[in-house]
Structure 1
Amino acid sequence: MASTATTMPFELHLSSPIGILASILVLTAIAVLYTAVYNAYFHPLSHIPGPFLARASPIPYALRIRSGNILPWVQKLHEQYGEVVRVAPTELSFISGETAWQDIYGFRIGKHKTGAYLKDRSWYSPAPNGVYSLISSDEATHSRMRRNLSHAFSDKALREQERLVQGLVDLLVQKLHEQLEEGGDVDLMRWYNYATFDIIADLTFGEPLYCLRDKDYHPWVNMVYASAKAIGLLAVRRRYRMFDYYDRFWNLFQDSTASITTRKEFFKRSSEKVTARLEKDADRPDFMSFITESQQKAEKAMTRDEIDSNAVLMLIAGSETTATLLTGVTYLLLKNPDAYAKLVREIRGRFKSQSEITIDEVNKLEYMIACLQEGLRYYPPVPTGFPRTVPKEGDRISGYYVPGGTSVYVSQHATNHSTRNYTDPDAYVPERWLGDEKYAGDRRETLNPFSFGPRNCLGKNLAYAEMRLIVAKVLFNFDIELVHKDLDWLKDQKLFTLWQKPSLMVRLRAVRN
């Protein structure tokens, strides 16, 4: 008797391995689709505009962070969607800095009585020893650390440290004169880095890295770049676990952990330097002498692990960022010859000798200060936002209700290059900071390159002093021009926490003063 069962070439049973796998894939696809639709249309942030893929999934945002192409994308989104953009399902970028800086980063007083907007820990890694530095610590720890460190960055300390800073800036000028004698063009980007790394290392460890002396990068410099790159990579992995799994899988075939390994090695060497510095008596004031003095007050003393974590922070934040601004301003001045000529006249008209160029005196150079301010607007050394988490009760930012737990920030580069905030935002115009009527409508309060509020940058006075001294002394001694006149130095620069800068080749000519 013939069988009535239907014969099939392939029969899928849910209990078979293939059937189980197919079921898992189908369920995963349904879950992903459901999550995407929910995020885009039903999430508490669905009222905030943004592209569908970014509202639905973190993948577009995370991919651009990893590729270094985040800035042009965020700027384009703000041009399309306005002052607030949902760049990921739980992440908002603002350019309405006249209100958003205070709403997110300001003191919690008056109408801002909600809880503090805490640092979004998913974006901030602890140091390799597991201890958060000043930049990412909780509120109570931050207050204690800041009390310990504030004296090291005070006006009084800066005056006591001026001799050290001046000596290294003078060494920069001397070495540039020697370069002229040797002939050839100069990569000014490298020389700015030599100077700023030597200064911050000397202030931190009581000894420079000798980059200026040796006319080359100390191995630590490349470690700083790698460590900064690791920050963004680790943040994406921690915030979006799919990228962690992806990287772990590919590490089976090729090692992609170089920057993370370098970060650990850099921390180890920095810790060894801290030990050496703490074991000797200082013959002049530096950061560690102020920290050691604070250690005598047990109620606010920093632990050794905290000192190590903050030493690395000071090295990274106090070197590359200042050198980046100096390089960017030099390029912008050379591409804007009227501004360059006006600045040169101001510097050489005020000073008769290099010895007259002091911290107090450079603070009186109004046009130079405007040039640097415009440089900070045009080419901010840290151009992204500083992510904070909205308190659990939710809050209003720039008039928009934002539920608790959302990651929020002011995107500096997009803010500074928006026609909403500045007239001719893509033009380098120092006069906008000097009362020029054409720029009277600029929202100048949106510019906060050193962040804002109780957690703003502790070292900004040192940074201002360094950049002003270096610009004044370099332009007092040299006429500068670009080697390649048609160079678009800013084009296609990528961002991995810090700018990935190309060389800036210039031709120097000594000035007879």
Structure 2
Amino acid sequence: MIYNLYLHPLRAYPGPFWARSCRFWYINYALRGELPFSVYHAHQKYGPVVRVGPDELSYADPESWKEIYGHRPDRGHIPKDPNFYLNTAAGDLSIIAAPSKRHGELRRLMSHGFSEKALRDQEPAIQHYVDLMIRRLRDLSVKGEPIDLVNWYNFFTFDIVGDLAFGESFNCLETSNYHPWIHIAFEIIIAGTMFRVTDYYPWAKKVLVKFVPESLKKGVKAHIALVKSKSLNRLHMKTDRIDFMSRMADPKNGVSEKEFIASSDTVLLGGSETTATLLSGVTYFLMKNPDALAKLTHEIRSKFTSEEEIDVASVNSLEYMLACLNEAFRLYPPVPGALPRRTIEPETLIGQYVPPQTTVAIYQLAINRLDANFSRPTEYIPERWLGDPRFENDSRNAVQPFSVGPRNCIGRNLAYSEMRLVIARLLFSFDLEATPMIEDWTNQKIWFLWDKKPLWLKLHARDVKLRPEVEALASVEASQKATAKVY
């Protein structure tokens, strides 16, 4: 502790005493699911650069995005922290954790499935799942009971990504229930957070392993088996459809079986849970801000006269919709914590010396809510994204939910298209009513991702012109019910 406080190369950087002296502060809040909140409070007290561990710095200056994560042709990239980016549960390094050269090769292959052309080709599949979700919500709304939209957003996103990554849906929307794998995946995220922080003290990991429930151990094995099975099915599937894994599945492109499985695992969780999280967040903030909800509802209903008019191209022109999504990204980023890098040589970041072997990162929850970056930072105000002069000094470039640089999120366009479609269809088809059960909804733990609570709303279906596909679904279901009664 004496060395860390008074002799360490980072000794001049400010931060909480227990963060600078040892790992106690970091581990304590990480294991409580509160680390990003604690880092945010530390930035409020100590400024734009905070020492959150003996060898770790957190940055909340908007310029630090480019310096830590951006393209740096003159210096080379700061590599990912190997202690954080481990093998996936399915084994081997995925596209996220691969070394820079290999990451670039894998990304070029995968980018084919996320291009604008691919998105146009994938729109019928996306619309199918939106149709199915709206149909299910219409059926439930008739009962007049609260509906947990967190569940339905997760059903929607997991079904889409399952289809476009593995070639088959998880059928969550069909069954109105979670596939068992999804529950296992959430448990693995929580367990992974706990095991990652014990890397600082190997003896603690040995102790923690002894307390891992047998159910979780079995769950991990089941997760690995399912991912391998679905990945291998997709790898050997014969299809002309462009999906996320098309180029990687082509044997001519030299992707190993292990790389394919690991990358499929990463794409599945990264492409589903994060989108569902933002959909949940923007819905909550709209319900808590009736003026914003009214403006967005008016924008949607004044533009469209039928569900059939709502497609990927038409929702792109909804300016207030984009502002609502961006403001939700600011206050409720799907990845609120750090994506750390580890210096391998001396660096100068935002004008300050950083020695080798230092972990550097940005906590999105902290940088997005800091007074220095935003006026009225804790309030949900979409107008700050629309040129409102009250917010002309806001540092909107601080909000980077998809990160920046060569390792930014490849699924940005898909995510925005899904979110715009879902919110447009939801507010066109239903009047939403809040329930008292959502009052403290944002009071959540963070295990790398948010541990979301149920979002209970009442939905009141409007009499609107349905898409033919939705009418067809209703007709098929009515026929099936009639047949069941006969037998």
Q: TM-score range by the shorter chain?
A: over 0.9
Q: Determine if the alignment matches structure 1 residue 241 to structure 2 residue 202.
A: yes
Alignment-derived partner of residue 266 in structure 1? 223
Aligned mate of 2:65, from 89, 93, 101 = 101
- Give, in angstroms, the shift of residue 153 of structure 1: 0.9
| Rounded Cα–Cα distance in structure 2 between residues aligned with 1:261 and 1:62 | 26
- Give, in angstroms, the shift of residue 232 of structure 1: 1.6
Q: Determine if the alignment matches structure 1 residue 508 to structure 2 residue 478.
A: no
| Rounded Cα–Cα distance in structure 2 between residues aligned with 1:227 and 1:292 | 26
| Rounded Cα–Cα distance in structure 1 between residues aligned with 2:177 and 2:301 | 30
| Rounded Cα–Cα distance in structure 1 between residues aligned with 2:86 and 2:217 | 11
- Give, in angstroms, the shift of residue 129 of structure 1: 5.1
- Give, in angstroms, the shift of residue 261 of structure 1: 5.1
Alignment-derived partner of residue 116 in structure 1? 77
Q: Residues 85, 343 of structure 1: CA spacing in aligned structure 2 closer, same or farther, 3 A cutoff?
A: same
| Rounded Cα–Cα distance in structure 1 between residues aligned with 2:4 and 2:213 | 31
| Rounded Cα–Cα distance in structure 2 between residues aligned with 1:390 and 1:280 | 41
Q: Percent identical across equivalent pairs?
A: 42
| Rounded Cα–Cα distance in structure 1 between residues aligned with 2:69 and 2:331 | 22
- Flag structure 1 segments of 5+ consecutive residues without an equivalent: 1-35
Q: Determine if the alignment matches structure 1 residue 411 to structure 2 residue 363.
A: yes
Q: Does the CA contact (< 8 Å) of 1:161 and 1:286 recur in 2?
A: yes
- Give, in angstroms, the shift of residue 486 of structure 1: 6.9
Q: Which amino acid aligns with 1:209?
A: F
- Give, in angstroms, the shift of residue 40 of structure 1: 0.9
Alignment-derived partner of residue 497 in structure 1? 448
Q: Does the CA contact (< 8 Å) of 1:93 and 1:410 recur in 2?
A: yes
- Give, in angstroms, the shift of residue 296 of structure 1: 2.0
Q: Residues 259, 382 of structure 1: CA spacing in aligned structure 2 closer, same or farther, 3 A cutoff?
A: farther
Alignment-derived partner of residue 296 in structure 1? 252
Aligned mate of 1:470, from 414, 422, 446 = 422
Aligned mate of 1:149, from 80, 101, 110 = 110
| Rounded Cα–Cα distance in structure 2 between residues aligned with 1:377 and 1:79 | 17
- Give, in angstroms, the shift of residue 108 of structure 1: 1.3
Alignment-derived partner of residue 340 in structure 2? 387
Q: Residues 486, 220 of structure 1: CA spacing in aligned structure 2 closer, same or farther, 3 A cutoff?
A: closer
| Rounded Cα–Cα distance in structure 1 between residues aligned with 2:113 and 2:233 | 19
Q: Residues 428, 291 of structure 1: CA spacing in aligned structure 2 closer, same or farther, 3 A cutoff?
A: same
Q: Residues 407, 243 of structure 1: CA spacing in aligned structure 2 closer, same or farther, 3 A cutoff?
A: same
- Give, in angstroms, the shift of residue 327 of structure 1: 0.6
Aligned mate of 2:131, from 170, 177, 180 = 170
After superposition, the C-alpha distances for 1:108-143 in whole angstroms (9 at most, x for unaligned) are 13xxx3332101010111124541111111111101
Q: Which amino acid aligns with 1:107?
A: H
Q: Residues 127, 339 of structure 1: CA spacing in aligned structure 2 closer, same or farther, 3 A cutoff?
A: same
- Give, in angstroms, the shift of residue 233 of structure 1: 2.3
Give the TM-score of the pair, scaled to structure 2. 0.92
Alignment-derived partner of residue 6 in structure 1? none
Q: Which amino acid aligns with 1:50?
A: G
What are the residue-to-residue correspondences of 1:217-256 with 2, within 5 Å?
217-248=178-209, 251=210, 254-256=211-213
- Give, in angstroms, the shift of residue 242 of structure 1: 4.1
Q: Determine if the alignment matches structure 1 residue 71 to structure 2 residue 28.
A: no
Q: Does the CA contact (< 8 Å) of 1:123 and 1:239 recur in 2?
A: no
Matched residue count: 464
Q: Does the CA contact (< 8 Å) of 2:144 and 2:459 recur in 1?
A: no
Q: Which amino acid aligns with 1:93?
A: S
What are the residue-to-residue correspondences of 1:285-364 with 2, within 5 Å?
285-293=242-250, 295-297=251-253, 301-364=254-317
- Give, in angstroms, the shift of residue 275 of structure 1: 1.6
After superposition, the C-alpha distances for 1:454-507 in whole angstroms (9 at most, x for unaligned) are 10001111111111110111111001011117712112x101111011111001
Q: Does the CA contact (< 8 Å) of 1:115 and 1:391 recur in 2?
A: no
| Rounded Cα–Cα distance in structure 2 between residues aligned with 1:256 and 1:88 | 30
Q: Does the CA contact (< 8 Å) of 1:226 and 1:260 recur in 2?
A: no
| Rounded Cα–Cα distance in structure 2 between residues aligned with 1:459 and 1:191 | 21
SS of the residue 1:86 aligns to: strand
Q: Does the CA contact (< 8 Å) of 2:36 and 2:365 recur in 1?
A: yes
**Larger Rg belongs to:** 1
Q: Determine if the alignment matches structure 1 residue 48 to structure 2 residue 9.
A: no
Aligned mate of 2:325, from 365, 372, 385 = 372
Q: Does the CA contact (< 8 Å) of 1:206 and 1:282 recur in 2?
A: no
SS of the residue 2:242 aligns to: coil
Q: Residues 122, 261 of structure 1: CA spacing in aligned structure 2 closer, same or farther, 3 A cutoff?
A: farther
| Rounded Cα–Cα distance in structure 2 between residues aligned with 1:240 and 1:321 | 30
Alignment-derived partner of residue 422 in structure 1? 374
Alignment-derived partner of residue 62 in structure 1? 27
Q: Residues 286, 64 of structure 1: CA spacing in aligned structure 2 closer, same or farther, 3 A cutoff?
A: same
- Give, in angstroms, the shift of residue 74 of structure 1: 0.8
| Rounded Cα–Cα distance in structure 2 between residues aligned with 1:287 and 1:167 | 17
